Chain A
Amino acid sequence: MSESGDLQDWRSDLIRSIGLGVAYYVAAQLSLRLALVGENITPLWPPTGIALVGFLLRGRRLWPGVAIAAFAVNLPISATPVAAAVTAVGNTLAPLAAATLLLRVGFRPQLDRLRDALAIVFLAALGSTLISATIGATTLVVSGAIRQEQFPGAWSVWWAGDAMGILVVAPFLLTLTTIREHPLPRGWKILEAIALLGVLVGISFLSVVTDLPILFVVFPVLGWAAWRFQQPGAAPAALLVSLFATWAAVEGRGLFGGRSLADEMFTLQMFNAAVAFTSFFFAAVVSERLRSRQALEEAAGELEERVRERTTDLSTANERLAEAQALARLGSWEWDVGSGAVYWSLEMYRIHGLRHDDGPITFESAIELAVHDDQVRIQANVARALEERQEVIPDIEYRIVRPDGSTRTLYGKARAIRSTDGSVKRMVGTVQDLTERRELEREQRIAETLQQALLPERLPQLVGISLAARYVPAEEGSAAGGDWYDVIELPDGGVALVIGDVAGHGTEAASVMGQVRMAVRAFSLEGHAPGVVVGRVHDLLRSLYEGEQMVTMFYLVVDPTTWEATMVNAGHPPPLLLDPGGGATYLESPTGLPVGLNWSLPYEESIAVLRPGAALVLFTDGLIDRRDVQVDEGLERLREAAKDNVEMDIDRLCGMLLDALVPADASDDVAILAARLDPVQERLSLHIPADPARLRSVRRNIGRWLSGHGVPKSDAEDIILASSEACANSIEHAYGPGQGAVDIEAEVAGGEVTIVVRDAGRWRSSRNGDRGRGLPLMEACMDTCTLTRGDAGTEVKMQRRVPRSPSA
Chain B
Amino acid sequence: MSDLASFAVVKADEIVVGSLSGEIDLSNAKELESQIENAVPNTALGMVLDLSELTYLDSSGIRLLLSLAGRLRWRGQDLVLATPPESRCRRVLSLAGIERSVMLETTVDAARARLKDPSA
Interface residues of A (CB under 8 A from B): 491, 521-522, 525-527, 692-693, 695-696, 699, 717, 721, 724-725, 728, 731-732, 770-771, 773-774, 776-777, 780-781
Contacts and interface: CB of A to CB of B under 8 A. Distances in A.
Q: Which among B3, B26, B60, B62 has the highest number of chain A CB atoms within 10 Å?
A: B26
Contacts of A526: 21
B58 A725 contact: yes
A771 B26 contact: no
A693 B23 contact: no
Nearest to A699: B56
B63 interface: yes
A777 B27 contact: no
Q: Which among A695, A699, A731 has the highest number of chain B CB atoms within 10 Å?
A: A695
B63 A717 contact: no
Would you list the 5 A-B pairs with minimal beta carbon distance, nearest first? A692-B27, A692-B26, A774-B59, A773-B59, A780-B95
B8 interface: no
Interface string B45-77: 000000000011011101100110000000000
B10 interface: no
28 contacts: A491-B22, A491-B23, A491-B56, A522-B3, A525-B4, A525-B22, A527-B55, A692-B25, A692-B26, A693-B2, A693-B27, A695-B25, A696-B25, A699-B23, A717-B88, A721-B56, A724-B25, A724-B58, A725-B59, A728-B25, A728-B58, A728-B59, A770-B66, A776-B96, A777-B59, A777-B92, A777-B95, A780-B96
Nearest to A732: B26
B96 A773 contact: yes
A759 to B, nearest CB: 14
Given A728-B58, A773-B63, A521 B88 contact: no
Interface class of chain B by DSSP:
mixed
Nearest to A777: B59
Contacts of B27: 692-693, 695-696
Contacts of B88: 717
Contact of B62 (A699, A773, A781): A773
A522 B21 CA distance: 12
Contacts of A777: 58-59, 62, 92, 95-96
Contacts of B3: 521-522, 525
Nearest to B97: A776
B94 to A, nearest CB: 9
A781 B22 CA distance: 21
Nearest to A772: B59
B91 to A, nearest CB: 8
A491 B21 CA distance: 11
Interface residues of B, number: 23
Contacts of A692: 25-27
Contacts of A695: 25-27
Contacts of B66: 770
A771 B64 CA distance: 11
Contacts of A780: 95-96
Contacts of B22: 491, 525
A696 B67 CA distance: 23
Interface in B81-117: 88, 91-92, 95-96
Nearest to A774: B59
Contact of A728 (B2, B55, B60, B67): B60
Contacts of B21: 526
A770 B67 contact: yes
Interface in B18-46: 21-23, 25-27
Given A721-B58, A724-B58, A728-B60, 14 more contacts: A491-B56, A521-B3, A526-B21, A692-B27, A695-B26, A699-B23, A699-B56, A725-B59, A731-B26, A770-B63, A773-B59, A773-B63, A777-B62, A780-B95
A521 B6 CA distance: 14
Contacts of A781: 95
Q: Which among B22, B25, B55 has the highest number of chain A CB atoms within 10 Å?
A: B25
Contacts of B55: 491, 527
Q: Which among A721, A725, A732, A781 has the highest number of chain B CB atoms within 10 Å?
A: A721
A728 B55 CA distance: 18
A526 B53 CA distance: 10
Contacts of B96: 773, 776-777, 780
A30 B22 CA distance: 147
A83 B22 CA distance: 153
A605 to B, nearest CB: 22
A194 to B, nearest CB: 123
A771 B92 contact: no
A40 to B, nearest CB: 143
Contacts of A731: 26
Contacts of A776: 95-96
A781 B58 CA distance: 12
Given A717-B88, A770-B67, A777-B95, A696 B58 contact: no
A183 B91 CA distance: 132
Contact of B4 (A696, A721, A770, A771): A696
Nearest to A525: B3
Nearest to B29: A692
A692 B32 CA distance: 15
